Amino acid sequence: MNNSQITVTSPLLPNLSELNALMQKIWDSKWITNNGSFHRQLEKELAEYLGVPFISLFTNGTLPLITALQAMRITGEVITSPYSFVATTHALWWNGIKPVFVDIDPKTGDIDPERIEAAITPKTTAILPVHVYGKPCDTKAIQDIADKYGLKVLYDAAHAFGVKVNNVSILNQGDMATLSFHATKVYNTIEGGALVMHDERTKKHIDYLKNFGFASETEVVAPGINSKMDEVRAAYGFLNLKQVDWAIERRHQVAIRYREALRNIEGISFFDDMPGVKHNYSYFPIFVDKDKYGKTRDELYFQMKDRNVLGRRYFYPLISSFTTYRGLESAKPENLPNATKMAEQVICLPMHHQLSEEDIQRVLDCIVR
Ligand SMILES: *Cc1c(COP(=O)(O)O)cnc(C)c1O
């Protein structure tokens, strides 16, 4: 029996000889970072591919969060979701901002707009929602609240590469949106990320901030940081952009197989596609109801592990339960019943472009009895 390791993800890698040819160009030019030609080209092509007006490349997906908060001068308290990767809340902490956790909607895993208003105080300046697993937030309800109270909205769209609602990029929602191009994401530049904005002035400001605040050779306009993407990774990203549609379609096929096989398994639930949404199949979370399924999430998770099928308990534990944050009033589990439950039930199944039919069957054999 095949017992080789099935990992939860596998990086999309460019063809190595094509990459080498681009490396030769970079070596010949000796321009290896600081807004080189691959950086400029990738920004242009990503803006077109994603359907967004302006984008600024970053060296990872955390620094655009930190930089956007700086650029918008967000202070005080920010309302956010505990059901995310820890970088979302860390970005607030690095700006001296107090995170205020609001529970999620169990139907989507995203922040529940109906619970936002109750968390607003005179110190609230912004909302930082996450399109978790690439599932679009209720952006209209969130914007309505933001407009009513004069708040900024920054979306952590690290999971939402290429996601569209009624043919419009989800990245166009809010004041700005961030992306991560980490190796584990649908589209990667090894490490990398981006910030999406609506106008050229904001892009210019962000471009200054990611380069120490330099506006010209002698002028520093703000306490910026260094978070520029280099030429090597921009070239790698340029090649990966050509095959990302293919990779997303492969993931889609895996999702179809999983859904078929798991649809009628008592105690296992999952998300279906949403009407009008172009999904990217970045993750395939399942939720284990121990009373109906007869096993806890952890029992299933470790049984999979014994068979060399590596899921991930994504997102568990909740951000709000980590030492830095658990003392906050809003971090109490009683305040976050839906997120707490989801974190206790979730396993993300292996999901990537290289899963074979045999791999998929081995994953399913762990779950379907
Ligand atoms: C991956 C991720 C980040 C951070 O991105 P990096 O590129 O790893 O810095 C931020 N938020 C979410 C929701 C993520 O999944």
Of 128, 127, 108, 109, nearest to 117 by C-alpha is: 127
Confidence label for 369 from pLDDT (cuts 50, 70 and 90) = confident
For residue 88, the ligand 1 atom closest to its alpha carbon is 11
Closest CA to 209 of 234, 231, 227: 227
Determine if ligand 1 sits within 6 Å of the CB of residue 85: yes
Query: What's the CA-to-centroid distance between 227 and ligand 1, angstroms?
Result: 15
Residue 4 has pLDDT above 90, yes or no: yes
Segment 89-117 mean pLDDT: 98
Residue range 161-190: mean pLDDT, rounded: 98
In the reported structure, the alpha carbon of residue 85 is separated from the centroid of ligand 1 by a whole-number distance in angstroms of: 6
**Sequence-ordered list of residues with C-beta below 8 angstroms from that of 61, at least 6 positions apart, any chain:** 87, 158, 178, 179, 180, 181, 182, 185, 192, 193
Cβ of 156 closer than 6 Å to ligand 1, yes or no, is: yes
The CA 194 to ligand 1 mean position distance, Å, reads 11
Give the residue, out of 58, 81, 88, with the most ligand 1 atoms within 8 A of its beta carbon, to mutate for a pocket test.
88
Planar angle of CA 45, 51, 55, nearest 5 degrees? 60
Q: Average pLDDT, stretch 127-153?
A: 98
Residue type, 294: G
Q: Whose CA is nearest to atom 7 of ligand 1?
A: 61
Q: Which atom of ligand 1 is closest in space to residue 193's alpha carbon? A: 7
Encode pLDDT of 259-299 as tens digits.
999 999 999 999 999 999 999 999 999 999 999 999 999 99
Q: What's the average model confidence in pLDDT over 221-226?
A: 96
- Going from the Cα of 65 to the center of ligand 1, the distance in angstroms, rounded, reads 9
Q: Which atom of ligand 1 is nearest to the CA of 192?
A: 7
What pLDDT is recorded for position 351? 98
Atom from ligand 1 closest to the CA of residue 132: 13
Q: How many CB atoms lie within 10 A of CB 140?
A: 10
pLDDT at 37 over 90: yes
Name the closest-CA residue to atom 5, ligand 1: 61
- Read off the pLDDT of residues 327-351 as tens digits, 9 standing for 90 and up: 999 999 999 999 999 999 999 999 9
Give this prediction's pTM.
0.98
Q: What is the pLDDT of residue 338?
A: 98
Residue 193: CB within 6 Å of ligand 1? yes
> How far is ligand 1, taken at its centre, from the CA of residue 92, in Å?
14
Ligand 1 atom nearest to CA at 185: 1
Ligand 1 center to 163 CA (angstroms): 16
The answer on pLDDT for 3 being more than 90 is no
Ligand 1 pocket, residue 110 CB under 6 Å: no
In order of 2, 5, 6, 82, the CA distances from 312 in angstroms are 21, 14, 12, 17
The predicted structure's pLDDT at residue 2: 80
Of 8, 59, 60, 62, the residue with max ligand 1 atoms within 8 A of its CB, to mutate for a pocket test, comes to 62
Query: Ligand 1 in contact with 280 (CB < 6 A)?
Result: no
CA of 157 to the centre of ligand 1 (A): 9
| Ligand 1 centroid to residue 295 C-alpha, Å | 31
Q: Which atom of ligand 1 is found nearest the CA of 62?
A: 9
Q: Is pLDDT of 54 > 90? A: yes
User: Using 50, 70 and 90 to split pLDDT, how confident is the model at 93?
Assistant: very high
What pLDDT, on the 0 to 100 scale, is given for residue 249?
Answer: 98
Give the pLDDT of residue 310. 97
- Compute the distance between CA of residue 65 and CA of residue 245 in angstroms, rounded to an integer: 26
Distance in Å, CA 4 to ligand 1 centroid? 28
Average pLDDT over residues 118-147: 98
The mean pLDDT of the chain is 97
62 Cβ inside 6 Å of ligand 1: yes
Q: Which amino acid is at 121?
A: T
Q: Mean of the pLDDT values across residues 166-170?
A: 98
